Amino acid sequence: MIRKFTTLLHHLENGILTITINRPEKLNALNAAVFTELDIAMDAVAENEAIRSVIITGAGQKAFVAGADISEFNSLDKNGAMDLSQRGQDIFAKIENSSKPVIAAVNGFALGGGCELAMACHFRIASFNAKFGQPEVNLGLIPGYGGTQRLTQLIGKGRAMELLMSANMIDAKSALQYGLVNLIIEPEDLLLKAVEILNNINSKAPLAVAGCISSVNASFDKQTNGFRHEVEAFGNCFDTADMKEGTAAFLEKRKANFTGK
């Protein structure tokens, strides 16, 4: 991959790209530069065949991402704010709709835009010290990068309403109980666990994995009939070499050798 960034670190190993939001002195707050670079990075993820899956995490011990960079809000009028919200939503939709798995490894505060970024990923794992919340109402704001929608999808209406209206933070244990994260783990084991999870997923047929992602996403897309999408995605599998290889390998009692074709 790709170029050198100013606000992101990236590291590609065994097909797993780790993207680290790297503004620890500002608790990795999402400013315009982070958005631009995340956008470029996700384009590279789509184009680069060496990348099979992605981990998004934050630099330092304290934060995943502590929100949108509040210092960039003062200069905005209503139209500027709507443009920012749309841009954030578009970039996060790129993550959500990535055909390659993207997981968030939440290593501390995931607040506001940070919680929204984590929720745009396909699923989340977190360290025991992680904290989640949408504190925008403290600032006279609401979430603007899809938070009201994805939080409701992930934890249900009642809990989403309470978190959004109260600005309360929840700890990793509650996030697990709410279904916001899939597992919680010691901070020092977080990235290793993310890699272990993705190594397993990367051993599966990539086009089938992509079909799972698009079909699950279709169930939240009001323009799409998710069941019909699944029918087509299921059918598409039968046009792949990997489906022939996977079924043959099972019948021949051997390990499948998937090629992503």
- Name the residue type at position 190: L
- Residue 116 annotated among the catalytic residues of the structure: yes
For the bound state, the minimum distance from the C-beta of residue 36 to ligand COA, rounded and expressed in Å, comes to 17
150-173 burial string, b = 16+ CB within 10 Å, else e? Answer: bbeebbeeebbeebbeeeebbbbe
Q: With DSSP H G I counted as helix, E B as strand and the rest as coil, what are the percentages for the chain, rounded to 5?
A: 50, 15, 30
Which range, of 44-52, 131-139, 203-211, 240-248, touches ligand COA by CB under 6 A? 131-139
Each residue 93-122 as x (binds ligand COA by CB under 6 A) or -, in order, gives ----------------x-xxx---------
For the bound state, the minimum distance from the C-beta of residue 180 to ligand COA, rounded and expressed in Å, comes to 17
Out of 17, 19, 29, 191, the residue judged to bind ligand COA by CB under 6 A: 29
Residue whose CB is less far from ligand COA, 71 or 99: 71
Residue whose CB is less far from ligand COA, 138 or 259: 138
Closest by alpha carbon to 64, among 88, 103, 102, 28?
A: 28
Six-digit token string for 115: 């919680």
**How many angstroms separate the Cα of 44 from the Cα of each of 49, 51, 101, 194?**
9, 9, 14, 20
26 lies in the binding site for ligand COA (CB under 6 A): yes
Q: How far apart are CA 49 and CA 261, in angstroms?
A: 12
Q: Between residue 184 and residue 203, which ones bind ligand COA under the rule CB under 6 A? A: none
Establish how many alpha carbons lie within 13 A of residue 110's alpha carbon, considering only the half-sphere containing its beta carbon.
Answer: 32
Q: Supply the Cα-derived Rg of the chain in whole angstroms.
A: 19
Out of 34, 51, 68, 102, the residue judged to bind ligand COA by CB under 6 A: 68
Judged by CB under 6 A, the number of residues near ligand COA is 18
From 49, 96, 116, 245, the catalytic residue = 116
135 lies in the binding site for ligand COA (CB under 6 A): yes
Q: How far apart are CA 112 and CA 106, in angstroms?
A: 13
Pairing type for strands 8-13 and 16-21 reads antiparallel
Residue whose CB is less far from ligand COA, 112 or 211: 112
Out of 6, 14, 61, 71, the residue judged to bind ligand COA by CB under 6 A: 71
Pairing type for strands 63-65 and 53-58 reads unpaired
Residue whose CB is less far from ligand COA, 101 or 135: 135
From 37, 72, 136, 162, the catalytic residue = 136
136 lies in the binding site for ligand COA (CB under 6 A): yes
Q: Which residues of this protein are in contact with ligand COA, per CB under 6 A?
A: 26-27, 29, 66-71, 109, 111-113, 135-136, 138-139, 141
Q: Which residues have a catalytic role annotated?
A: 116, 136
